[in-house]
Structure 1
Amino acid sequence: MTASNPSPLIRPFTVAIPDSEIDDLEQRLDRTRWPNAETVADWSQGVRLENAKSLVEYWQHDYEWRRFERELNGFPQFVTEIDGLDIHFLHVRSTNANAMPLILTHGWPGSIVEFVKLIGPLTDPEAFGGDAADSFDVVIPSLPGFGFSGKPAETGWTVSRIASAWAELMARLGYEKWAAQGGDWGAVVTTALGAMRPEGLLGVHLNTQYAFPAPIPETLSAEEQGAVDTVALYTGYLGGSNHLQATKPETVGFALADSPAGQAAWIYEKFQSKTDNDGLAEDALSIDDMLDAISLYWFTNSAASSGRIYWENSSGSLAGPTLTLPVAVTVFPRDIPRLPRSWIEDTYTNLIHYGEAARGGHFAALEQPDILVDEIRAGLRSLR
């Protein structure tokens, strides 16, 4: 599925955080000024002080950034300028013939961290008990303003503009035919790609679906009412950070850029509230996985620049466009919001796969990488 050699505009990239920045992080963590404890016995006011202290103590004394840096540098990484902005990405080719090129897009507070555990099974399925016929070449870009991608110095980086950049990236890599996958904001970008239908895009897989009818019907089934209730939870009780970043991302950015404990709590709360856990985020994610994600935000100072994706797209709708190209979806049981199959089928008129995962929440790639790999394989198999 490759048209030509990759473009000479693509430059190799290696992660190399200076020792001075790691030392600075440790010093800042040691000087953390803690707020007074919450006045409730649960997480209804946000991250609990005792849990935040435990996470930060581990970050300061037990976490090893260099371990994760070595893991990232074990994959081929590159940077290329598209539409005036440097885009960082991992590009791992399968050794198997006829591998399907697949671009994977993360969301917020996601990053390339989410997909690290998917790379091996997707590119070399035989080594993980799979079939070589399900092989993928994977392309994993960092969204503009996230991670090691450039930080926009101008407005206008909407999801449509990002989708156009992704289409250019896949063309620049020499791919004639390819597929796309995403969750959270990654699903919004992937949905925009699906609506755009750039040359070569075979189809998409979504683990977050934007398929709300507009307007919502007056009479709802129990499953549809559940979807309405979960979106109310998503935009209301759980939507504080979304609202703040959609209105004043720079203001909160000052605090998060200056305080690693604050940055940790900001992301930790999302892992707590949106994973399939039994009361704590640690039930669903390892502390190292969470701190890999948090540390990437900290070392790249991307709290404000990543938060602007909400500001740039604040007029967006959960309804999403009707897609006519092949669409595969996987619904995770603890995702928020969770949509009924009827709305999904109405919005994606060429639905080629519908899967319901046994477990997992909003951060599917990080929580349940094995399930998501199986669903991507099954969902896109008919497009080969």
Structure 2
Amino acid sequence: MRYSATAAWARVYADAIAMFDEDLVPFQVEIPPAQLRDLRRRLEETRWPAQVPGVGWARGAPVEYLRELAGYWAGRFDWRAWERRINAYTQYVTVVDGARIHFLHIHSRHPGAIPLLLLHGWPGTVLEFLEVIEPLSDPPDGEPAFDLVIPSHPNFGFSGPAPDAGWDSHRIACAYAELMRRLGYPRYAVHGGDFGAFIAPDLGRVDAARVIGVHVNAATLGFIPHGPVPGDIVPALTPAERKRLAHLAEFLSDGSGYFQIQGTRPHTLGFALADSPAGQLAWMVEKFHAWTGGPGPLEVRVDRDHMLATVATYWFTNTGGSSAQLYYESLHSPHLPTRSTTPTAVANFAGDLAIRRYAEQLNTIARWTDYEVGGHFPAMQTPGLLVTDLREFFGELS
């Protein structure tokens, strides 16, 4: 039995829930041609909004940029090429705690490879990690090698919408602990970015006996100050930490509206994201622009086709609205993080907010690296740096 990715998630769920809990069902991404034609038609028939002229990105995604990008998506972007890339890897779906979970599973040819969970965030997908799969699973001789497990979170991508509420980072972490048990890994490592940096530390809490270590980038919860920073602490901060505090204040005052909308009214937003690919594109690409950091056009900081493949995954799976549920669950979760004794590494790329003195309150920090380059999506932007950081940290722990 093999499942393919279609928009008919109701049928998929009826089939998936009928699986035995332990089943790992082979999976391939196969978007029907009719969905590709429908996407092109919708993009070509987009009704574009009027905007205040001359303000660039200050009020959100500019219509001139989005119109050109949507035209490229409709006419020149090759989705089938990205299907071939992801289908080159072994994939499965399984059901854990009632939710369907899709994942890539890559076995290294090297003996003694370290099992490693790679966890994306929002607006991310499993495609985020395509550039690091070979370097991690098939490294040069003498470098640590990894068996990779790369899941689509419940409510995201090829996992599809979850059947019930309550899928916060704690529940997802519990599901992944069960997934790694089913795969036969008595010990494993975990890396996460963005919301993956919520889930990864939670795995270090709920499955501490089996988690070798936790590695995060784009760390937020438990890694940044909550509430005003006491005045007597500010002079002790490094220049880089002061810069992060300023960036955090700017984010909270002028960059967190998306979080409040997704965290409070995800259903209302979901209508627009489900019906308009241009709306889905604008909602996500504005964050790619804001979070990739550095000078120059967006396409200099992140590959245009890779970004569009990510947006297309949300569109084809109709998970723009359901993925927003993770923000709602985060704001309404009964699970408050407790202190973790699991060794934890932080890779702070340019624009990240984590500050060590705050991270140490809830985490056992074993490695801390600040980078002056990169951004929110290092697996896409600076894969070499991320791979090196992962090798060095987990190589020391194994």
Q: What TM-score comes out, normalization by structure 1 length?
A: 0.92
The reply to whether residue 312 of structure 1 matches residue 324 of structure 2 is: no
For 1:195 and 1:214, locate their aligned partners in 2 and report how far apart those are by CA, in whole Å.
21
For 2:70 and 2:189, locate their aligned partners in 1 and report how far apart those are by CA, in whole Å.
39
- Per the TM alignment, residue 198 of structure 1 is displaced from its structure 2 partner at its CA by 3.9
Task: Judge which range, 200-209 or 211-220, deviates more.
Answer: 211-220
Task: Give unpaired runs (5+ residues) of structure 1.
Answer: 1-6
- In the other structure, the counterpart of 1:348 is 363
- In the other structure, the counterpart of 1:199 is 209
5 Å matches for 1:39-78? Answer: 39-78=53-92
Task: Judge which range, 12-21 or 226-235, deviates more.
Answer: 226-235
Contact 1:77/1:91 (<8 A) preserved: yes
For 2:258 and 2:67, locate their aligned partners in 1 and report how far apart those are by CA, in whole Å.
21
- Per the TM alignment, residue 369 of structure 1 is displaced from its structure 2 partner at its CA by 1.0
- In the other structure, the counterpart of 1:155 is 165
- Per the TM alignment, residue 237 of structure 1 is displaced from its structure 2 partner at its CA by 0.9
Contact 1:99/1:133 (<8 A) preserved: no
SS at match of 2:278: helix
Contact 2:293/2:351 (<8 A) preserved: yes
- In the other structure, the counterpart of 1:252 is 269
Query: What does the per-residue CA deviation read over 1:227-259, in whole Å, with 9 as the maximum and x for residues that have no partner?
Result: 332222223311111110001111111011111
Query: What does the per-residue CA deviation read over 1:75-124, in whole Å, with 9 as the maximum and x for residues that have no partner?
Result: 00000100011100000010100000000110001110111111000000
For 1:289 and 1:214, locate their aligned partners in 2 and report how far apart those are by CA, in whole Å.
34
- Over 3 Å counting, the alpha-carbon distance change for 1:45 and 1:249 in structure 2 is same
Contact 2:98/2:163 (<8 A) preserved: no
Task: Judge which range, 185-194 or 131-140, deviates more.
Answer: 131-140
- In the other structure, the counterpart of 2:294 is 277
Matched residues, number: 370
For 2:206 and 2:103, locate their aligned partners in 1 and report how far apart those are by CA, in whole Å.
22
RMSD: 1.9
The reply to whether residue 186 of structure 1 matches residue 196 of structure 2 is: yes
Correspondence for 1:33 among 42, 47, 52: 47
Q: What TM-score comes out, normalization by structure 2 length?
A: 0.89
SS at match of 2:324: helix
- In the other structure, the counterpart of 1:294 is 311
- Per the TM alignment, residue 161 of structure 1 is displaced from its structure 2 partner at its CA by 0.5
SS at match of 1:88: strand
- Per the TM alignment, residue 226 of structure 1 is displaced from its structure 2 partner at its CA by 3.1
5 Å matches for 1:113-124? Answer: 113-124=127-138
- In the other structure, the counterpart of 2:24 is 10
Specify the code of the residue in structure 1 equivalent to 2:157: G
For 2:390 and 2:44, locate their aligned partners in 1 and report how far apart those are by CA, in whole Å.
43
Tell me which stretches of 4 or more aligned residues in structure 1 moved more than 4 Å. none
Contact 1:68/1:292 (<8 A) preserved: yes
Query: What does the per-residue CA deviation read over 1:334-368, in whole Å, with 9 as the maximum and x for residues that have no partner?
Result: 22xx233333344433x222222241111222211
SS at match of 1:236: helix
Contact 2:262/2:327 (<8 A) preserved: yes
- Per the TM alignment, residue 172 of structure 1 is displaced from its structure 2 partner at its CA by 0.4
- In the other structure, the counterpart of 1:4 is none
- In the other structure, the counterpart of 2:110 is 96
For 1:374 and 1:313, locate their aligned partners in 2 and report how far apart those are by CA, in whole Å.
31
- Per the TM alignment, residue 158 of structure 1 is displaced from its structure 2 partner at its CA by 1.3
- Per the TM alignment, residue 153 of structure 1 is displaced from its structure 2 partner at its CA by 2.5
Correspondence for 1:362 among 373, 376, 386: 376
Specify the code of the residue in structure 2 equivalent to 1:31: E
Specify the code of the residue in structure 1 equivalent to 2:165: T
Query: What does the per-residue CA deviation read over 1:43-89, in whole Å, with 9 as the maximum and x for residues that have no partner?
Result: 11100111101111110111000000011100000001000111000
- Over 3 Å counting, the alpha-carbon distance change for 1:332 and 1:321 in structure 2 is farther
Task: Judge which range, 298-307 or 29-38, deviates more.
Answer: 29-38
Q: Percent identity?
A: 40
5 Å matches for 1:216-227? Answer: 216-219=229-232, 220-221=234-235, 222-223=237-238, 224-227=241-244
Contact 1:124/1:132 (<8 A) preserved: no
Specify the code of the residue in structure 1 equivalent to 2:77: Y
The reply to whether residue 232 of structure 1 matches residue 246 of structure 2 is: no
SS at match of 2:102: strand
Task: Give unpaired runs (5+ residues) of structure 2.
Answer: 1-20
Specify the code of the residue in structure 2 equivalent to 1:89: F
Task: Judge which range, 114-123 or 188-197, deviates more.
Answer: 188-197
For 1:21 and 1:333, locate their aligned partners in 2 and report how far apart those are by CA, in whole Å.
38
For 1:197 and 1:236, locate their aligned partners in 2 and report how far apart those are by CA, in whole Å.
36
Contact 2:347/2:368 (<8 A) preserved: yes
SS at match of 2:254: coil
- In the other structure, the counterpart of 1:3 is none
Specify the code of the residue in structure 1 equivalent to 2:354: L
SS at match of 1:103: strand
Specify the code of the residue in structure 1 equivalent to 2:327: Y
SS at match of 1:310: helix
For 1:50 and 1:84, locate their aligned partners in 2 and report how far apart those are by CA, in whole Å.
43
SS at match of 2:52: coil
For 1:235 and 1:256, locate their aligned partners in 2 and report how far apart those are by CA, in whole Å.
24
